[in-house]
């Protein structure tokens, strides 16, 4: 049962954060206890730096921050370590698809998140991710197939009704591997917690993959262990069991 965990990687939405977008006191205490034991804690999120910075700073973490599904890696001082862009032509194509099928969308550029609107000149910006929010199963499946068939994008989701597209080969596992290299540890020494398809690669590739109780079925199947839900401080439960050995 004991694992030599040196790094904890935590997804945010549906994992670390409860349905009120809060980090529970239980999760905070468990993260602090892990850090006091010498274990690094990294947030690994689909969010941009601007939309996760407050939570990151509130935890006073001393390690790295993986944002936009691995598109960016930041150090604890807020300095950019690595950035992986999506080709502008692909962003234009996905935006055209959203217009054609009348879907809601969002797009993350370097420095901004665009919700259901885009800048006048898409080519004037550097892009990290494009996302579709689609309630209709048929349209979602249609767009999903087109994106997959392009062979140029990393396709995941952060809920059952959305699609997230990053640069090909870019995901949270790739980001964690980079952090491991920087820290001089192996992926086997990592515990990762998540709930959605954008967490699947890291849950499969680290030494100990933890699915939340509220995780999508595919994520639970891939995980080594299933913890409580995000509203039950499932992150704290996993840390107590596998890192603090309590």
Q: What pLDDT is attached to residue 110?
A: 96
Residues 203 and 192: beta-carbon distance below 8 Å: yes
Give the C-alpha separation, 51 to 42, whole Å: 16
Query: 153-194: per-residue pLDDT in tens?
Result: 999 999 999 999 999 999 999 999 999 999 999 999 999 999
Kindly list the distances between the CA atom of residue 190 and the CA atoms of 14, 93, 206, in Å, as whole numbers in the listed order.
Answer: 20, 37, 5
Give the C-alpha separation, 190 to 29, whole Å: 19
Kindly list the distances between the CA atom of residue 64 and the CA atoms of 75, 81, 128, 181, in Å, as whole numbers in the listed order.
Answer: 4, 9, 18, 12
Q: What pLDDT is attached to residue 2?
A: 62
Q: What pLDDT is attached to residue 3?
A: 80
The DSSP H or E segment spanning 194 is strand 190-194
pLDDT at residue 246 greater than cutoff 90: no
Give the C-alpha separation, 219 to 192, whole Å: 12
> Does 88-167 carry CATH code 3.30.1240.10?
yes
pLDDT mean over 233-246: 96
Query: 102-119: per-residue pLDDT in tens?
Result: 999 999 999 899 999 999
Give the C-alpha separation, 169 to 178, whole Å: 13
pLDDT band at 1; cut points 50, 70, 90: low
Q: For the domain bounded by 7-83+171-242, which CATH number is listed?
A: 3.40.50.1000
Map out the domains of the chain as residue ranges.
7-83+171-242, 88-167
Is 11 marked active-site? yes
Give the C-alpha separation, 186 to 208, whole Å: 12
Catalytic residue among 11, 13, 195, 199, which? 11
pLDDT at residue 236 greater than cutoff 70: yes
Kindly list the distances between the CA atom of residue 5 and the CA atoms of 35, 47, 98, 108, 146, in Å, as whole numbers in the listed order.
Answer: 11, 25, 42, 32, 39
DSSP string, 122-134: GGGS-EEEEEEE-
Residues 44 and 202: beta-carbon distance below 8 Å: yes
């Amino acid at each position: 049962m004991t694992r030599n965990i040196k790094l904890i990687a935590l997804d945010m939405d549906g994992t670390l954060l409860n349905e009120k977008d809060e980090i529970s006191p239980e999760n905070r205490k468990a993260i602090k206890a892990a850090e006091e034991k010498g274990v690094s804690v990294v947030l690994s999120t689909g969010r941009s730096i601007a939309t996760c910075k407050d939570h990151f700073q509130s935890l006073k973490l001393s390690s790295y921050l993986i944002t936009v599904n691995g598109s960016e890696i930041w150090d604890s001082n807020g300095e950019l370590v690595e950035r992986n862009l999506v080709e502008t032509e692909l962003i234009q194509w996905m935006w055209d698809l959203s217009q054609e099928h009348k879907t809601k969308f969002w797009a993350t550029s370097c420095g901004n998140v665009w919700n259901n609107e885009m800048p006048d000149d898409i080519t004037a910006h550097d892009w990290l991710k494009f996302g579709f929010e689609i309630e209709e199963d048929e349209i979602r499946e249609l767009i999903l197939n087109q994106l997959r068939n392009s062979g140029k994008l990393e396709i995941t989701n952060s809920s059952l009704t959305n699609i997230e597209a990053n640069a090909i080969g870019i995901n949270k596992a790739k980001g964690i591997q980079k952090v491991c290299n920087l820290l001089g540890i192996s992926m086997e020494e990592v515990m990762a917690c998540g709930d959605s398809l954008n967490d699947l690669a890291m849950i499969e590739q680290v030494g100990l993959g933890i699915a939340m109780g509220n995780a999508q079925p595919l994520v639970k199947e891939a995980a080594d262990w299933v913890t409580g839900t995000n509203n039950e401080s499932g992150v704290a439960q996993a840390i107590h069991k596998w890192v603090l050995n309590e």
